[in-house]
Chain A
Amino acid sequence: MTAFPAALLPLPVAIPLVVCAAMLATAHLLPGRLPDILATLTALSVAILCAVIAARAADSPLVYWFGGWEPRDGVHLGIGFSVDEASGWIAAFIGLLYALTFLFAWGFFDRTHGHFHILMLLFLAAMVGFCFTRDMFNLFVWFEVMSVAAFALTAYHLEESALAGAINFTVINSLAGFLMLGGIGLIYAQTGTLDFEGIAAAVARGGRDPVVAGAFCLAATALMIKGAIVPFQFWLADAHSVAPSPVSVIFSGSMVSLGLFGLAKVSAVVFAGSDQVQRTLPVLLIGMGSFTALLGGWMALLQRHLKRMLAFSTISHAGIMLTGIGALSAGGTGGMLIYVVGHGLVKGALFMIAGILLATRASIDEIALRGLGRGLGPAGIAMALAGLLLCGLPIGVLDQGTRLVQGALTQQGHGFAVAAGAIGAALTGAAVLRASGRIFLGLGPDPGDEAGAPSQDEREKANRPLWLMLAPCCVLLALDAGLPASLIEHGIPRAASAFMHRPAVGAFAEGPAWLPWASVAAALVGAGYGLFRKRLPAAVVRPVSVTQSAPTRALELLHSGLIGDYAAWLAVGVAAIAAVLTLV
């Protein structure tokens, strides 16, 4: 018999599953708006349940054994859920993001008999399961459910580009699943268990072991593919830019960061006892993360297709999150967890604005939309605000996460990673600010330098009033800006320590106070340069365009959209991780 708070643990996964099975069984009988209502309520109830669980888990993690199979004589027989405070709040955030997305997509998918809602609810259940589980193989199962639901949702528009994006997404993420399964097989053969704690204990006993390192290499690669870390990032830009905008909200807001959340959990809990892995992690994660932050930011600045721009900005911010994990301290991981929530709120709002433009202005192309945003004032303000928050405007949740990550990195002398994160964030902010200036104020040359970037026009059904689409977007931004900072400051040291299974620590270090302002200033300069280039003296413009044109072209060529190239880069990435593991 399980006591009250722990007995809640299966419900946030089981409730969406029950609802979607029932919806499928009665698919053709459901009247028009019922799927919307049911899905929104389900997501809300998941959010509330997860919040209750998280609040109850504050003192010590809640543990639940499925089927009543508690460990016997030290052998873990069944599957367990183990929820610490941080995992619970992340799951609650995901539930809320879904509820708001369902509101945003109200009536958008009404011709599919609730099939869209079924896929989305499965996606939600899988994410919650992924956050809660303490079993390696169960983690893989939820990872795959997430993937399968995502593959189908990506191709929803059925245009050529959507299909190509979905195929690339499917192939690369399937390979990620196979790699992860291989890693699970290796670690199981070596430790004889699948439970996180059981594996951790066996790994700690084992000493330096190539099999453990190999298992980590495979599992980490899989999670980094999901987290879109360079050189595994290619699928993301293809998939996020073609998925329907409500789906992109979920992809960028939670799916990508969940991959990194999983990586943080696996490296802090499962492989905590392996010296080899722990010595490799800072080099590997901070190196790859910094590179990803810079490359993603730069690519974002080059785009004209709004959703593709936001996709690259997600890559950049995933890199920043990875550097947070790489700090290997409770401060860095805590900052990363806050960053996941803050980034999800802001990026979700931005994709919703992209969806609003698709629905009301029937285009997603920054240059085609030039000046067409007049009349959508609130959306413009929201987009500019989101852009400022993205590059580090020092208010709100995202900023708190940034400062904690920077603090942890500064403390350990990773100045390069701090700089890379700040520059990456500034570049993505510059891209968003430039786009909002061009779309909503009609600024900038027509067309600008971005004209050569890949783009494709699309449209989404305009069957919803503007306020209904704007409201969830504003709620997201208000949450990011308005969540009391003291609450997070107070809770995060405890939550992050519990997440990493480490003794509690005091307050965390924060990064330098001037850095966010520097990022904002850089973003404004970048956006201004993009918009007012023609008015600047040639002496300023010429060197910039000369130095950037060759690498820019090379980058565009790299993102070829060809699945063969992506597979080759995947192999290179695995080899790089393996090389670092062997050499360190």
Chain B
Amino acid sequence: MSMLPYAVAAWLFGIGLYGIATSRNFIHLVGCLGVCQSATYVLLLGLGYRWGSIAPIFYDHPPGTPAVDPVMQALVLTDIVVGATLTALLLVLTIQAYKRGGSLDPEKLRPMRAGGKSGRDPGPSRVSDAERSVS
């Protein structure tokens, strides 16, 4: 029982990574990344917890009451902001990728393909260049 939160954290990271590895949809992939990140929340908050302690806010309880670790809570707050920024950026990239490629499938979107637009020899590449500047 005393190990459960840490095991959950490890499992969350593993399952998130599995999701990323097998994902066929970028939105799903962003979600999986969020699952991986939840592993860090669970780990940090678990490490900072102590039975029978209050939240580290001494408004209703006088200072000196045993409280959980406030450092971990502050770290998790930063972590949440990291999560929000990453999700926003990834969703933007996904939107733009969808607009250009017409697909949300990570298997269909490649950074650079062999013999891509610029062709296998210099001839076609110059032509396609000229076409692009005309259009």
Residues of A bordering B, CB below 8 Å? 137, 141, 144, 148, 151-152, 155, 158-161, 163-168, 170-171, 174-175, 177-178, 181-182, 184-186, 188-189, 194, 238, 241-242, 305, 308, 362-363, 365, 367-368, 370, 446-447, 451-457, 459, 556, 560-565, 567-568, 570-571
Instruction: Give 18 pairs: A residue, B residue, CB < 8 Å, sorted on A.
Output: A148-B85, A160-B100, A163-B96, A167-B94, A171-B20, A174-B36, A175-B20, A178-B40, A185-B75, A186-B43, A186-B47, A363-B118, A455-B112, A455-B114, A455-B116, A456-B112, A564-B20, A567-B20
Q: Does B68 contact A (CB under 8 A)?
A: no
Q: Is the CB of B71 within 8 A of A188?
A: yes
- Residues of B close to A456: CB separation below 8 A: 112-113, 116-118
Nearest CB of chain B from residue A112's CB, rounded to whole Å: 15
> With A365-B125, A451-B120, A456-B117 in contact, is A564–B90 under 8 Å at CB?
no
Which residue from B22, B110, B113, B117 sits with its C-beta under 8 Å from A564?
Answer: B22
Q: Bound state CA distance, A189 and B26, in angstroms?
A: 35
| A366 shortest CB reach to chain B, Å | 10
Chain B positions within 8 Å of A165 at CB level: 111-112
- Give complex CA distance A51, B121 in Å: 49
Cα distance, A452 to B106, chains bound together (Å): 23
User: Is B86's beta carbon under 8 Å from chain A?
Assistant: yes
Q: Shortest beta-carbon distance, A563 to chain B, in Å?
A: 5
On chain A, the residues within 8 Å of B112 by CB distance are: 161, 165, 238, 241-242, 305, 308, 454-456, 561
Tell me the smallest distance from the CB of B4 to a CB of chain A, in Å.
Answer: 15
Tell yes or no: B64 within 8 A of A by CB: no
Task: Say yes or no: B118 contacts A152, CB within 8 Å.
Answer: no
Instruction: Tell me, in angstroms, the Cα distance from A184 to B71 when the chains sit together.
Output: 12
Let me know if A556 and B17 touch, CB within 8 A. Answer: no
Which residues of A are found within 8 Å of B125, using beta-carbon distances? 363, 365, 368, 457
Task: Chain B residues near A166: list those with CB within 8 A.
Answer: 93
By a CB distance below 8 angstroms, the chain A residues around B37 are 174, 178
Shortest B96–chain A CB gap in Å is: 5
Q: What is the CB-to-nearest-CB distance from A251 to chain B, in angstroms, rounded to a whole number?
A: 15
Complexed CA–CA distance, A166 and B96 (Å) = 11
Smallest beta-carbon distance B121→chain A, Å: 5
Q: Are A564 and B33 in contact (CB under 8 A)?
A: no
Task: Select which of A167, A182, A238 is within 8 A of B93 by beta carbon.
Answer: A167
* Interface of B toward A, CB cutoff 8 Å: 9, 13, 17, 20-23, 26, 29, 33, 36-37, 39-40, 43-44, 47, 71-72, 75, 78-79, 82, 85-86, 89-90, 93-94, 96-97, 100-101, 106-107, 109-118, 120-122, 125-126, 128-129
Residue among A137, A159, A167, A171 making CB contact with B100, cutoff 8 Å? A159
Cβ A188 vs Cβ B20 within 8 A: no
CA distance A241 to B113 in the complex (A): 12
- Compute how far the CA of A242 lies from the CA of B116 in the bound complex, rounded to whole angstroms: 14
* A-side contacts of B126, CB under 8 Å: 368
CA of A362 to CA of B129, assembled, Å: 9
Neighbour of B26 across the interface among A167, A184, A567, CB < 8 A: A167
Nearest CB on B from A306, distance (A): 12
How far, in whole Å, are A174 and B13 apart by their CA atoms in the complex? 12
Docked complex Cα distance between A141 and B74 (Å): 12
Known: A160-B109, A168-B111. A185 touches B44 (CB 8 A): yes
Residue among B96, B120, B126 facing the most chain A CB atoms (10 A cut-off): B96
**With A137-B75, A455-B112, A570-B17 known to touch, is A564 a contact of B23 (CB < 8 Å)?**
yes
Identify the closest chain B residue to A366 (Cβ).
B122
Name the residue on B nearest A454 (C-beta): B112
A369: nearest chain-B partner, CB-CB: B122
Interchain residue pairs A-B with the least CB separation, the first 10? A238-B111, A454-B112, A457-B118, A561-B110, A163-B97, A567-B21, A189-B47, A165-B111, A164-B111, A561-B111
B-side contacts of A568, CB under 8 Å? 21
**Given A158-B96, A164-B97, 12 more contacts at CB 8 Å?**
A170-B89, A170-B90, A185-B47, A188-B71, A305-B112, A363-B118, A368-B126, A446-B121, A447-B121, A453-B114, A456-B112, A563-B29
